[in-house]
Structure 1
Amino acid sequence: MKQRVMGFDLARALAIFGMVIVNFKLAMNSETGNEFLLWFSALFEGRASSLFVILAGIGVTFLTNKARKSEDSLIIYKCRLSLIKRALLLITIGLMYTPIWEADILHFYGFYFMIAAIVFMASNRILLIVSASIALSFPILMLLFNYDQNWNWSSLTYMNLWSFDGMIRHVLFNGFHPVFPWASFLIFGMWLGRVDLSQTITRNRLLIWSLITLVTTELIFYFARVYIGDGAELGLSPEEITALFSISIIPPFPQYIISAGSSACIVLVGCLYFSDKFRESKINVWLCQTGQLSLTLYVAHVILGMGALDSLNRLSNQTIDSSLLSSLIFCVCGVAFSVFWLKYFKAGPLELLFRKLTKV
């Protein structure tokens, strides 16, 4: 793809902002404060990160379009090798600072990219089947393995991570963003990247079906929880009912994947329309430039953002007001840095390094 789609960059910026809000809240243990702000911050949990992964899938499609359309074996080989190198680099970067930030998503990204390297030549239909199969595999794994193993839910920490068994479970099944089912977002994004979203009719169809799917899924599982009640008649505890019929990120049942994927599509279409209508607006341009530095800003919000909060002793028992203010300050600084940096360079610091190291 020769020209960047501004709407995708805008969506990346919003995804980063949402992830900063969620992660700062988690890192600062912000569970008290204004009720509205607590509700507002909860809206981004499991939603911003799903949008981020779907956008990565769209990026994979743009990266592999030439190979897919040419069907030249040498081009396909180079493209697959590039994806594998990206995957290994993401895994390395992510694991390097997992001791600092256990909820890191980058090392999971690396494993999603490994799957992408295998399936990027598949047809649209196969991509959707693979995406659905990965999402539906999670309940089966729940029946076979103990999802709670290695978790300390009171502190939301994962124990035995650096053991072989712990790492395998963490990556594939019960980590913060396990391959099964989170890789389904990336594969769906790869399919979405093949859809011509420059066409108004296509955007509208995606928007309408996403709204219908989101509302239907939310209503079905809401009324299911109300109807079942405390679960006594089914021999289940209230906690088990909440886990089985909730649409939360933990545990990531198919209803969460469907709901989060639908909301991501709604935001994405909104960003495409906004960027088209306000293409020359400074706010739109600045936010799109911020989206171009998404990898740099993701790493920076952990290393610099949380590092600064730690030095100020603000990483425990903070109010949601303090957490959101810290998020706002970081996001504003991120926008300012992005605009300044792109005056002199074509891509962000980590983005440039990433391209250099993964070039085939």
Structure 2
Amino acid sequence: MKQRVTGYDLARALALFGMVIVNFKVAMSAETGHAFLMNFATLLEGRASALFVVLAGVGVTFLTAKARNSVDKTLVLKTRISLVKRGLLLVVIGLIFTPMWEADILHFYGFYFLIAAAIFMVQEKSLLWISIIIMLIFPVLMLLFNFEQNWDWDTLTYNNFWSVDGMIRHIFFNGFHPVFPWAAFLTFGMWLGRQDLSLKLIRKKLFLGALITLIVTECSFYYLRNILNDAGGSIMTAEEITFLFSTSIIPPMPQYIISAGSSAVLVLIACLYLSERFCETKITKYLYQTGQLSLTLYIAHIIVGMGFLESIGRLENQSIDFSLLSSLIFCTGGIAFSVVWLKYFDVGPLEWIFRKVAR
């Protein structure tokens, strides 16, 4: 169990680093610089955050294990209330945080947790079906509503967020990480957490299944886009084809959910293996500790990291080279902070608050 937990912490640290890289790139409007570095940063868009949500689902499974294995209705109710408290706290913190960082994921996280509170007692296979249903609701919503409403794509700004209509649309349909379909990552993570990943055979099956799914999905939609583009644009423009048939984060179509979910499984299984293979190395231990403070460091990379860059006038219109350098400096500082903090305390500052609220 120790190896299993540290493997998740390692994956959480990597997910955090990926989100820092992506968010710094977006905040700095880093669209110039070395092509390889640009492709590297672009590759992480929508993947690191997906891994983060999948890991949250795994965490929910661990938090609710005792209640699920119990016939005590009082314990089940207490566990459900605990998840609701966590969800509401995330919603509040996220909404307070949104004026500073419009691409905040925490308030979305809160709604994912509210869904988890409602369904954590369902059967294992039902979690997969719920994930599929949540994923497929999104394209249905796209047929009924305008996905681009309230968006300024040139600045990646969401207008009318604080109106009732704007907030509902943003949270459930067309925000940065809307409940439909992003909650599918969490419910899938809840299913994944119920698998015995200490068994090498199960890991191998999951890894191969995720790898095949990723390759098939990416290749299929790559060729589909080429076929539609070769048709001469008689049905759709090149922009519309890319918009509807890409595996990128916007819009989060089913093929994106499947692709990003598969890549999340690959990284997670790799981290479980690495946590066993290199469990005694210092850098691995440091990364474990960084993963334990992921929530605190997520907030810090906006307030401290971007706040400092803004104070020195280096937050906007920077190159990808400078953006990645800034990300590297912050992540290195985050590792150092985590190691020092955990010498004196058991959990991170924000993680401690969440424990208190959940109780």
After TM superposition, is the score higher than 0.5?
Answer: yes
Q: Check the 8 A contact 2:3/2:272 in 1, yes or no.
A: no
User: What SS does the aligned partner of 2:343 have?
Assistant: coil
Q: Check the 8 A contact 2:50/2:261 in 1, yes or no.
A: yes
Inter-partner Cα distance in structure 2 for 1:137 and 1:131: 10
What does residue range 305-324 of structure 1 map to in structure 2 within 5 Å? Answer: 305-324=305-324
User: What SS does the aligned partner of 1:295 have?
Assistant: helix
How far 1:357 sits from its partner (Å)? 1.6
User: Which has the larger displacement, 310-319 or 226-235?
Assistant: 226-235
Q: What TM-score results when the alignment is normalised by the length of structure 1?
A: 0.98
One-letter code aligned to 1:256: Y
Inter-partner Cα distance in structure 2 for 1:4 and 1:253: 31
In the alignment, does 2:335 pair up with 1:358?
no
User: What SS does the aligned partner of 1:82 have?
Assistant: helix
1:151 corresponding residue in structure 2: 151
Q: Check the 8 A contact 2:341/2:348 in 1, yes or no.
A: yes
How far 1:339 sits from its partner (Å)? 0.3
2:216 corresponding residue in structure 1: 216
How far 1:356 sits from its partner (Å)? 0.7
What does residue range 60-209 of structure 1 map to in structure 2 within 5 Å? Answer: 60-209=60-209
Flag structure 2 segments of 5+ consecutive residues without an equivalent.
Answer: none
Q: Check the 8 A contact 1:230/1:241 in 2, yes or no.
A: no
Q: Check the 8 A contact 1:231/1:238 in 2, yes or no.
A: no
Inter-partner Cα distance in structure 2 for 1:81 and 1:68: 14
2:257 corresponding residue in structure 1: 257
How far 1:238 sits from its partner (Å)? 1.2
User: What SS does the aligned partner of 1:306 have?
Assistant: helix
How far 1:2 sits from its partner (Å)? 8.4
Flag structure 1 segments of 5+ consecutive residues without an equivalent.
Answer: none
One-letter code aligned to 2:184: S
One-letter code aligned to 2:238: P
User: What SS does the aligned partner of 2:122 have?
Assistant: coil
User: What SS does the aligned partner of 2:148 have?
Assistant: coil
How far 1:39 sits from its partner (Å)? 0.6
How far 1:101 sits from its partner (Å)? 0.2
How far 1:354 sits from its partner (Å)? 1.1
How far 1:93 sits from its partner (Å)? 0.6
4+ aligned runs moved over 3 Å, structure 1: 1-4, 230-234
How far 1:233 sits from its partner (Å)? 5.3
Residues 90-132 of structure 1, C-alpha deviations (whole Å, 9 max, x = no match):
0011111100100000000000001000000000111000001
One-letter code aligned to 1:49: S
Aligned pair count reads 359
What does residue range 289-328 of structure 1 map to in structure 2 within 5 Å? Answer: 289-328=289-328
Q: Check the 8 A contact 1:58/1:192 in 2, yes or no.
A: yes
Identical counterparts, % of pairs: 65
Inter-partner Cα distance in structure 2 for 1:337 and 1:272: 24
In the alignment, does 2:305 pair up with 1:273?
no
User: What SS does the aligned partner of 2:314 have?
Assistant: coil
One-letter code aligned to 2:253: F
Q: Check the 8 A contact 2:131/2:184 in 1, yes or no.
A: yes
Inter-partner Cα distance in structure 2 for 1:245 and 1:184: 19
User: Which has the larger displacement, 232-241 or 127-136?
Assistant: 232-241
1:283 corresponding residue in structure 2: 283
How far 1:235 sits from its partner (Å)? 2.1
Inter-partner Cα distance in structure 1 for 2:240 and 2:71: 49
How far 1:234 sits from its partner (Å)? 4.7
How far 1:71 sits from its partner (Å)? 2.7
Q: Check the 8 A contact 2:4/2:197 in 1, yes or no.
A: no
CA RMSD of aligned residues (A): 1.1
